Chains A and B, each alone.
Chain A
């Protein structure tokens, strides 16, 4: 599953991440386009004891979330 959170204001990228995790998605990608959203998602996932892997491409970050 891939969630496109590019161009969304705070806190929607992290809220979409939370919704996916609440839906018991254990492995998904979320794309964001700013470091604030990136940091917020990494912090949230780490608090939920999940793992993140980040790849950057032309100012966009794809965060692979697994739990």
Chain B
């Protein structure tokens, strides 16, 4: 693909993403939450009774849609490949802390952009923190950080995570009594199931095709001087602002923002944690879902870490609410940053020799 075409496709991806997210909000999803990978995985953790927070329990069809959409597009383009074994447990831990950070901020990087699009200035503080976290991740990468190489796995591994998603959807459609559904709060705010599922499938397929990644936008600009992905990032925010103005939902300011708090220090630090940890695992939460759909088992493990992180966040009072952050959430963010720094440092040392072998 030539560079110009690639840039146009990424810009189109950003625009479609913003439009679909605005429509999902219009048809029932919570405000500024047309899409949120962290919130939706958290809702799924709730519907599966992994946590008991009554306001955030719903089998969000967008998540299975994203994974299945990416799987189908990768399969169609013959890009499916089962790979894994690159420090899976460290990725699990990083996935858990990405989720814990996201739930202190109240959103993944995609929702951070949608919140900015809705006029939520707190999310701009989050964005600065996110960029700061990615900067730290880039320092580690420049210093020689690397996880072990992924190995080729049995092709059957490619089908496992998509099959689990089909199973989750089947349970939600056929025996919903097994699951828990919020009757109030964000978990009770839902676009129609079919619309959510189609939105997930479309965005999943497009994200696989364009390799859209919120971390890559900032990381590659800083590290390589490559602004291609950042264009998609900018278009997403710009179109989101336009959509919110068109739908009469643009409300600029710090206060009275939907499902957000005004604790600036922790908005900054929690998203720094998300940015740093996501850089080490090689992509943002959305990208992890897409890679998992392609057959990347390590990304699948990262998602499992996020699911567990979501459950822990609510079971141990770490997740924020519109009222603000919690003491446990603040402690967890600091702990997360310490753990991420340790993981980065350990893997710089252990790879110093391997790096020399790469150049033969």
Which stretch of B34-42, B174-182, B218-226, B309-317 is in the interface? Answer: B218-226
Given the known interface contacts A11-B141, A47-B226, the answer about A35 and B150 at a Cβ–Cβ threshold of 8 Å is no
A10 to B281, CA, bound (A): 8
Cβ-closest chain A residue relative to B150 = A7
A59: chain B residues at CB < 8 Å are 81
Q: 1/0 contact trace for B125-161 toward A, CB 8 Å?
A: 0000000000000000110001111111000000000
A35 to B147, CA, bound (A): 20
Per the 8 Å Cβ criterion, residues 15-64 of A in contact with B are 15-16, 18, 20, 33-36, 39, 43-44, 46-47, 59
Q: Is B150 within 8 A of A10, CB to CB?
A: no
A15 to B358, CA, bound (A): 12
Q: A11's contact among B81, B216, B225, by CB below 8 Å, is which?
A: B216
Chain A interface size, under 10 / 10 to 19 / 20 to 34 / 35 or more? 20 to 34
Q: Is B141 within 8 A of A8, CB to CB?
A: no
Given the known interface contacts A12-B146, A16-B358, A43-B6, the answer about A34 and B223 at a Cβ–Cβ threshold of 8 Å is no
A54 to B219, CA, bound (A): 26
List the interface of chain B (C-beta within 8 A of A).
Answer: 1, 3, 6, 79, 81, 83, 86, 141-142, 146-152, 211, 213, 216, 219-220, 223-226, 228, 281-283, 298, 358-360
6 nearest CB pairs, A to B: A7-B149, A9-B282, A7-B150, A10-B282, A36-B211, A2-B360
Q: What would be 23 A-B contacts, judged by CB atoms less than 8 Å apart?
A: A1-B359, A3-B359, A4-B358, A4-B360, A5-B358, A6-B149, A7-B86, A9-B86, A9-B282, A10-B213, A10-B283, A11-B223, A11-B282, A14-B224, A15-B223, A34-B79, A34-B81, A39-B6, A43-B3, A43-B226, A43-B228, A44-B224, A47-B3
